[in-house]
Amino acid sequence: MKKIVSLLLALVMVMSLSVTAFAAEPVVNDGTKGTDITVGGEYKAGDSSKAVVSVNITWTGMSFTYNGAGQGTWDAGTHTYTGSTEAGWAASNASITVENHSNVGVTATCSFAKADVTGNNAGLTFGNNGATVAAHPKSVDTASTEAAKSATITVTPNGSLDSTFTGDSIGTITVTIAQAQ
Amino acid sequence: MKKILSLILALALVMSLSVTAFAAESNTATDKTPGTKVVTGTYIAGSTSDVISVNIEWGSMAFTYTGASAGTWLPDSHSYSGATEAGWSCVDGENVITITNHSNVAVKATASFAKADGTNLTHSFTETSETANDGVVALATAVGTQVSAAPSADIVFNITGGSISADSNNLGTITVTIAKSTT
């Protein structure tokens, strides 16, 4: 019983404790010496500008031609073909250019989703994929006269199409833009 | 023998006591001439001393330096909008020094600021009751006033320039000195 009463008393005492606010106390000055007041300071960094991502993406033509293998010309005298050609993709120079108008650096990453159509075994290879493009120079230094930074990702077909391919699209390229870390 | 000595000593003591003679003044008065006496008086002014007692109160005096912000980037115009400059701030009222005179004389309160070593701060004092803004206020005597209505004045302190680093928290010290007003 005594313990319970003691505990209750202790609880009441703890609850009655007030929190002292450290307000400046008035000071009486009798003119014999100065009263000192300490001035405190805190440094707070300015709000950093919110990242604004804005990128221009330009594409060259994305049409690729796959040439099937050619046996060549039948030579009736030798009963052989001459000038055979192997199957393959015609030469191309496709690319995607990413121009950064953001106030942050960005990365550009391409991916290819193959169309699910008969005879389509094509794929794409991306050169310089995941390129990092620096922020617009004027966002770093407003006095800058430099143009927006850009990066080029090359697109090269691989795989194959076979004779059963009658479709038009071999797939879709997606360019994903993300703030560079 | 002892008794004799005691008696001699007692006698010597009695003889050494002085007797103040109150010489009696007298007038001769008749039925024609009354007795007169001039009564004299002396005025001694009561002693009053100056008592200086001034209450000084102040706010937290906590200032915040906020760095500059570029604002919002506009990709179409390649520019920022809503930029803010770096600057100092203090919660309203927390940078006020209130001086209340309970003295029996007029006083002058003078505030001065000593910036902390290594800082490049500039400051200002603004008096709410005066225009000099020099950190000096004059307060009338409290004589004749209620305690609750004692002469009082505010001095507002501000940091007006300079900056501090992230690890600084002491800007300096304000010293308020009180002196009897000479005017």
* CB–CB contact A30 B58 (8 Å): no
Share of chain B above pLDDT 70, in %: 84
CA-wise closest residue to B111 among B91, B121, B122, B96? B96
CA-wise closest residue to A157 among A110, A90, A107, A105? A90
Q: What are the pLDDT digits (tens) for B79-137? A: 999 988 999 999 999 999 999 999 999 999 999 999 999 899 999 999 988 888 999 99
**Residue B56: its pLDDT value, please?**
97
Residue A8 has pLDDT above 80, yes or no: no
The listed range with the strongest mean pLDDT (A5-14, A71-80, B151-160) is B151-160
Share of chain A above pLDDT 90, in %: 70
Residue B53 has pLDDT above 80, yes or no: yes
Partner A contacted by B6 (CB < 8 A): no
Helix, strand, coil shares of chain B, percent, nearest 5, are 10, 35, 55
Which residues on A lie below 8 Å from B69 (Cβ)? 46-49
CA distance B114 to chain A (A): 10
**Residue A21: its pLDDT value, please?**
35
Least confident stretch, B32-46, B100-114, B146-160: B32-46
Output the CA–CA distances (angstroms, integers) from residue B150 to B40, B141, B180, in the order listed.
43, 8, 16
Which residues on A lie below 8 Å from B56 (Cβ)? 26-29, 35
- Give me the interface pTM, i.e. the ipTM: 0.71
- In B, minimum Cα distance to A38 occurs at B173
Nearest to A50 among B61, B72, B163 (CB): B72
- Of B16 and B183, the structure prediction assigns the larger pLDDT to B183
pLDDT bucket at B163, cuts 50 / 70 / 90:
confident
Residue B158 has pLDDT above 80, yes or no: yes
If contacts are CB pairs under 8 Å, which of residues 23-82 in chain B contact chain A? 52-76, 78-80
Contact predicate A98/A175, CB 8 Å: yes
Say what the pTM is. Answer: 0.59
Contact predicate A41/B63, CB 8 Å: yes
CA distance A38 to chain B (A): 5
Contact predicate A93/A156, CB 8 Å: no
**Residue B45: its pLDDT value, please?**
78
Which residues on B lie below 8 Å from A36 (Cβ)? 173-175
Sheet with B96-101: list strands edge to edge: A27-29, B54-58, B96-101, B152-161, B122-127
CATH, range B54-180? 2.60.40
| Distance, first Cα to last Cα, chain A | 65
Task: Give the Cα-Cα-Cα angle B136, B138, B141 (nearest 5 degrees).
Answer: 150
Domain definitions of chain B by residue range: 54-180
Domain definitions of chain A by residue range: 55-179
If contacts are CB pairs under 8 Å, which of residues 92-151 in chain B contact chain A? 97, 103, 107, 113
- Of A91 and B41, the structure prediction assigns the larger pLDDT to A91
User: B78, B158, B165, B176: which to substitute to probe chain A, counting the most A Cβ within 10 Å?
Assistant: B78
pLDDT bucket at B4, cuts 50 / 70 / 90:
low
**Residue B74: its pLDDT value, please?**
94
A114 burial (CB, 10 Å; 0-12 / 13-18 / 19+) is middle
* CB–CB contact A49 B64 (8 Å): no
Q: What are the pLDDT digits (tens) for A72-106? A: 898 888 888 899 999 999 999 999 999 999 999 99
Contact predicate A118/A165, CB 8 Å: yes
CA distance B180 to chain A (A): 8
User: B53, B57, B64, B73: which to substitute to probe chain A, counting the most A Cβ within 10 Å?
Assistant: B73
Exposure string of A53-62, with b = 16+ CB inside 10 Å and e = fewer, is: bbbeeeeeeb
- B12 φ/ψ sector (left φ>0, alpha ψ -120 to 50, else beta): alpha
Q: What is the distance between the alpha carbons of residues B154 and B98, in angstroms, rounded to a whole number?
A: 4
Which residues on A lie below 8 Å from B117 (Cβ)? none
Query: Which tokens sit at A59?
Result: 């594409």
**Residue A18: its pLDDT value, please?**
34
The DSSP output letter for A47 is P
Least confident stretch, A51-55, A80-84, A154-158: A80-84
Cβ-Cβ contacts under 8 Å for B89 (sequence gap 6 or more) = B63, B64, B66
Residue A11 has phi, psi (to 5 degrees) of -60, -45
